Amino acid sequence: MLQRRRDTGQWALPGGAQDIGETAVQCAVRECLEETGIVAEITGFLGVYTNPHHIVAYTDGEIRQQYETTYIGRPVGGEPTVNDEADDVRFVQPADLDQYDIHPSMRQQIGDYLVGSYPHLD
């Protein structure tokens, strides 16, 4: 599942900031629903990704170094839906990924998942 971000035009995994009072897993489920319209069930943890070259500059002047804690999930409900953060949402086949403009740090996460380079929760 990828979303095309309205702010950069790049395709990305859903994600965002954790709210006070929620766990990281609850945050992942909430952000996925808010940004894509898909209800997810978390099935694993991919990892923590930090890239000092992944700098995000927002239109309000805020600048930060991005990092992600990336969870693996499966869809259990909902429909892909556009919103104020994403102007397109879709399920993408791995063979088609090269057709999408995806930030290299996000592409690394997707690649790690596809080769199974993460701790499995079985």
C-alpha separations of 116 from 95, 109, 119 in Å: 16, 11, 8
* Alpha carbon distance 34, 16 (integer Å): 10
Contacts 24+ apart (CB under 8 A), 22-26: 24/69, 24/71, 25/71
The per-residue pLDDT for 110 is 95
Q: What is the pLDDT of residues 100-109, one digit of tens each?
A: 999 888 899 9
CA distances from 24 to 69, 90, 91 (A): 8, 24, 23
Q: With beta carbons less than 8 A apart as the criterion, state whether 37 and 81 touch.
A: yes
pLDDT in tens, 55-102: 878 788 889 887 889 999 999 999 999 999 999 999 999 999 999 999
pLDDT tens digits for 47-65?
Answer: 998 888 878 787 888 898 8
Residue 122's pLDDT band (cuts 50, 70, 90): very low
What CATH class is the domain 2-114?
alpha beta
Residue spans of the domains in the chain: they are: 2-114
